[in-house]
Amino acid sequence: MPTVSTRRVVITGMGAISPLGVGAAALWQGLREGRSAIGPLRHVDAGRLRVKVAAQVPESFDPAAHIDERTLPLLDRTSEFALHAAREAVAQSGVDFAGNGLGQRTAVIVGTGVGGETTQDEQSRRLYAENAPRAHPLTIVRLMTNASASQISIAYGLHGPTYAVASACASANHAIIQAAQMIRYGMADAAVTGGTEACLTYGALRAWEAMRVLADDTCRPFSVNRRGLVLGEGTGIFVLESLEHARARGATILAELAGTGMSADASDIVMPSAEGAAAAMQQALQEAELNPGDVDYINAHGTGTQANDVTETRAIRLAFGAHADRLAVSSTKSMHGHALGASGALELVAAIGALRDNVVPPTANLDKADPACDLDYVPNTAREMPVRAVLSNSFAFGGLNAVLALKRAP
Q: Which residues pair with 229 in a beta bridge?
A: 214
Beta strands in 95-228 (DSSP E): 106-111, 162-165, 190-197
Q: Do residues 157 and 97 lie in contact, with contact meaning Cβ atoms separated by under 8 Å?
A: yes
- 169 among known catalytic residues: yes
**Catalytic residue among 84, 169, 336, 373, which?**
169
- 245 among known catalytic residues: no
Residue 153: C-alpha distances to residues 143, 149, 156, 317 (Å): 17, 6, 6, 41
Q: Which residues pair with 296 in a beta bridge?
A: none
Q: Residue 175: which region, alpha, beta or left (left: phi > 0; alpha: psi -120 to 50)?
A: alpha
**Catalytic residue among 174, 245, 301, 336, which?**
301
Q: Which residues pair with 242 in a beta bridge?
A: 9
Q: Give the whole-angstrom CA distance, residue 406 versus residue 388.
A: 9
Q: Do residues 115 and 143 lie in contact, with contact meaning Cβ atoms separated by under 8 Å?
A: yes
| SS3 call for 180 | helix
**Catalytic residue among 199, 219, 338, 373, which?**
338
| In 159-229, alpha helices (H) | 171-184, 202-211
| Size of the chain, expressed as the number of residues it contains | 410
Residue 379: C-alpha distances to residues 156, 161, 221, 361, 362 (Å): 41, 41, 10, 9, 6
Q: Give the whole-angstrom CA distance, residue 208 versus residue 235.
A: 20
Active-site residues: which are they? 169, 301, 338
